[in-house]
Each structure stands twice: as structure tokens, then as C-alpha cells.
Structure 1
């Protein structure tokens, strides 16, 4: 069984979405200063690095992160590969095998951005009609490999559309080197009371290809299809 860590490490150098507070990790006590243990203080955004957006992110009455159902955050997921595309719209998504899926991770050219310093505004993201298509297909969790599922200068319309319809958003994934196909997702956000979101450790697990019953097919999970 192979396990893939698709989270980005939290550090002060991690890119942050403009307007979010910076990530700071400061030592409080340190062995090299004669203290009895190493202890650090962490200051970060609830939407730092690999993180979950809960419905509370865009609605005061929405479900907060500690109440998200664990059976949605853990389970069978489909990873699709959409390279060379900035706008992930209905036309792109309709060519992928999404029927019967509940969890969808979208691998784009964004995964290469983690290797470059600073925040990049020109990342690949969902369009409004693409998000609508995911709702039509019954997707309940969608993940992408940068800090937002929608374009940088948007007003949050796509977040609101997904979250108000019960779709949990998983952002900030690092999918570089991960093949498209079927996996088990395990995503556990910090249990923050009344949290609008939370950093998460996300991993993918896949048994041998022979044990997937034909579910794993890298050819039909890449766009454009041959």
C-alpha cells in the first residue's frame, strides 16, 4: 500500500493569499538557550497552506469546521489531471469521468507554483459554470492545488455557490508527482471551535493497481483526452 502526502509544510516562507495574516513560528523556549524543552508559538490564518474551507467561511450561519462530517473528509476520491488550462469550466470537466464520484481532486499546473517564492495570481481555478457542473454531478468535496478554487480578483461567488450547497473545499494541495486515478483521501483539519476553516494534513492512499477493480485509469482522468 502506497501513501502520498499531498500537504504543503507550514513555515514562514509559505505563500499566503493576499490579505491573510502572515505565518509566524517563533520559539518560546529552546534547549540551546538552556530551557528544558523546545516549544514554539504559531500564528497563522485558518486558510494557511493545505486547508479546508467550511461553510462558515462565507456564512455566519454555515457549518463550522469542527462539525464537518468525517465520512466526507475520508473516503474514495478521484484525482484528475488538468494541465495547460487556466479556466476549469464545464467543457473541461464534462470530458472527465465524474459520474458516481463524491470527492474530486484537481491537479493542474499550479503544483509547480509551490516551488516558486511568493504568491502567484495567475493560477488555474474553477469557473462558475465549472462549479455548477460539479454540483450537478453530485460532488461533495472538491480540492485544488493552490490557495483558492476561484480566480484571484473574484468576489467569492464560486466559494458561496459551492459552500451553500454543502460542498466542502480543500485548497492548497501539492499534487506534483501524483498520478491521476482513484485513491482513498484522508483529510483531517484542525478541530477549531466555530472555525471558518482550518489547516489540514491530507494524504492519499492507494492499494496496488490490481486491487482497484479497474477503477484506476490514468488515461481517462487526464484532460484533454486522447
Structure 2
């Protein structure tokens, strides 16, 4: 009996949580969704055909004409890559999932899987304000879910030791979510606004520090 109990506890500890709330399994599933979403980004880039391949100058004209699609791809790729890095860090820090932290993964993964669509919108309609707003709204909601996931883990006590590094990461996520929400609305008055989003790492760094300064300890 003791042996069976010890075996169950060992499995639970090794899996970072009780059955149904294993952090590693959730991490692997999130990795898979992110990998598929990142791969789908490149599918939406238009391929040269026919006359576009007739000569080097024709191909060059095609490539320069499609620069918006390449910018959209690079932007979305690094946004999703940064989400993966932060989630990897988060999974390595928590000792278990709770119902709340498991639940936060549903909208997070839904928005990750959806992101290739608004990426295609801005790739083909870079200066269409509605397309820009759809992308910005999706990214803002995605990052808000990421921040909510971390805040939930901190409140539940599932971050062992000092949770300040997870809290700082959450502050950075809130800052970038606000950055996308605010700048997205400017698309109705500012052209080529998606180029501003390349500064998202600066928003995370400085905006996160500002949020940390004013949030309760």
C-alpha cells in the first residue's frame, strides 16, 4: 500500500501536478499549437507565378511589391516566438496547474491558432485600418490572456519561491497588450502603422517597468 502511494506521489511530482493538471503536458500541447501557428504564417505569403518568374527584374518587382507580407510574417513570427519563450519560462517555474491556470490556456491557445488569419489580412492590406485593428485586437487579447495566466498562478501560490520574476513577466505582457490596443486604434489616422509594432520589445521592457513601479506588492 505504501509502495503504491509513493509511486503515485512520485508520478505526480515528476509530472508537476495531479492527473489532468500536469504542467509538462500543457507545455507540450502549447508548444505544438505554437509550432503549427508559426508554420501557417508562411503559407499566407503570395508565391510568384507566370510572368513574375520571367526574369530577374520581374521577380525583383514582385518581391518588392509584396514587402508588406514579409514584414507581417516577420512581425507575427517573433511575436509568437516570444510568447513561446515566456510560456516555456512559465511552465518551468510553476509546480502545478490549477483550474484557473488550465482554463486560461483555452483563450490563449485559441488566439495563437487564430493569429495567422489577421497576419494574412495585414500582409495583403497593410494600410487597411480595419485589418490593422483586427491584428492589434487579436495580439492585445492574446497578451492579456498570457498576463492573466501568470497572475492566476501567482495568486494560487503555484509559483514556488519568490514569484517576482513571473510577476515582472506578467507586467511586460500587460504593457505590450496595452501597446497593441492603443496603437491599433491609431491605424485610422496613421499609415504603415504595423511598422511601429517592431518596437514591441521596447514596450515590454519600459512599459513593464512602469507597471511594476505602480502595482501593489
Higher-RCO chain (CA-CA 8 Å, sequence separation at least 6): 1
* TM-score normalised by length of structure 2: 0.23
* TM-score normalised by length of structure 1: 0.22
Judging by fraction of residues, say which structure has more helix: 2
Find the structure with the greater CA-based Rg: 2
Judging by fraction of residues, say which structure has more strand: 1
